[in-house]
Amino acid sequence: MGKIKKTTITDIAKELNVTASTVSRALRNHPRISDATKKAVWELVEEMNYQPNNIATALRKGKSNIIGVIVPTSDRQFFASIIRGIEEVVRGKGYNLIICQSDEQTDKEQKNIDALLRIQVDGIIASVAKETRDYSYFEKINNLNVPLVLYDRVGENINACTVTSDDFNGAYKAVTHLIEQGCTKIAHFAGQQHIKIYQDRLNGYLKALSDHNIERDDNLIIENDLINDTDLVLKAGYDMTYDLFSDVVIPDAIFSSSDFAVLGAIKALKEKQISIPEEVALIGYSNDFSSSVVEPGLSSLDQQPKLMGNHAAELFLEQIESDEVPYTPKKKSLDPKLMIRSSSSIQHLKAKPHV
């Protein structure tokens, strides 16, 4: 076929013996352009297969209609749902998404931010990489007047809109449910404590214990890297379970901050012939698809990631449509839903009074 030059407004203008101004106005259906001209323009658009050049428009208008989205990894169902949620909201508004992955690394995260800024995105929606402990790079975004929305893993004290899941309450609900099932020696697989969501989950766990007069036992709390390759987290859960059950205090439940760690626990418990949920009840976090497939079905917390994506997109739109200066960042929080499956339903213990 050879090189086919793309049709421009100027091409159409020449064809019709008018100027580019007129064609441009006709295309945007400007009221003071004659119907005849508009009709002629529209016909040529079809005939010459004209596609507006958004890059030129963006340069001229100073608005790209592109939103940058940073996810730590696109491999996880959770983040795929976030993306879908964002897209649902912004697509109708003419925005396109550029998706970047930080791979949980701070330097990649910073490179992503720079790349998005260079590309002149209209806003950035991001979740912080696990490695990141200093959030100052994100301030750069706000300093350039680019709206910033953080979701799920947010830094503290960043001047940005945030959408979070109420991790404290999610953990609290899970542990309370375990206590109601009669469990009293509840272990916790905790995530890295420099990350707020894992702090909150640990705190929710502790609060539920103390509210039910169960003493904290640090032997039952194990911290581990729960953000990692799925297989590695699974392995970690497996190992932690073996550790737990070779100790003095044997737990009767595990509340884990990761579904994948529980999958490893299930494997270990089956090997040790410990019955679930009769001897040990289990609850995971995130309600990954695999938790409904494994046997026994794994109770877990549904963080409603698609809804989280919806909200993140809405916060972006709100900010970009606002003329408040300086903009006061809005915060939204979602309540996670406890999905009860057989891994934590101790039917025959239900009647038993708990402490």
Q: Is the distance from CB of 264 to CB of 238 less than 8 angstroms?
A: yes
CB closer to DNA, 39 vs 272: 39
**What is the identity of the amino acid at 45?**
V
Of 3, 4, 31, 325, which one interacts with DNA (CB under 7 A)?
31
First-to-final CA distance of the chain: 80
Backbone phi and psi for residue 161, each to the nearest 5 degrees, phi listed first: -70, 150
Q: Is the peptide bond before 277 cis (omega within 30 degrees of 0)?
A: yes
CA distance 256 to 69: 28
83, interface contact from a second copy, DNA, none, CB < 5-8 Å by kind: a second copy
Hey, what are 348's tokens?
A: 């025959």
Among residues 1, 4, 35, 246, the one that binds DNA under rule CB under 7 A: 35
The verdict on 146 binding DNA (CB under 7 A) reads: no
Q: Residues in contact with a second copy, total (CB under 8 A)?
A: 52
The order of strands in the sheet holding 253-256 is 221-223, 186-190, 253-256, 281-283
**Rounded Cα distance, 329 and 138, in Å:** 14
Instruction: Find the binder of DNA among 22, 181, 257, 299 (CB under 7 A).
Output: 22
Which one of DNA, a second copy, none is in contact with 307 (Cβ closer than 5 to 8 A by kind)? none
Site size toward DNA (CB under 7 A) is 30
Residues 238-297 that bind a second copy (CB under 8 A): 263, 289-290, 293-295
Which residue in the set 6, 14, 272, 331 belongs to the binding site for a second copy (CB under 8 A)?
Answer: 6
Instruction: Please identify, using beta-carbon distances, which residue of 184 and 230 lies nearer to a second copy.
Output: 230
Report helix, strand or coil for 328. coil
Task: List the one residue from 39, 47, 49, 53 that touches DNA (CB under 7 A).
Answer: 53
Position 49, amino acid = N
Please report, as residue ranges, which positions from 238 to 297 form the binding site for DNA (by CB under 7 A): none
C-alpha distances (whole Å) from 229 to each of 104, 130, 194, 226, 238 are 11, 13, 19, 9, 14
Residue 17: which of a second copy, DNA, none does it interact with, CB under 5 to 8 A by kind?
DNA
Residues in the chain: 355
> By the criterion CB under 8 A, which residues form the site for a second copy?
1-4, 6, 49, 51-56, 58-59, 64, 66, 73-77, 80-81, 83-84, 87, 96-101, 114-115, 117-120, 140, 142-145, 230, 263, 289-290, 293-295, 325-326
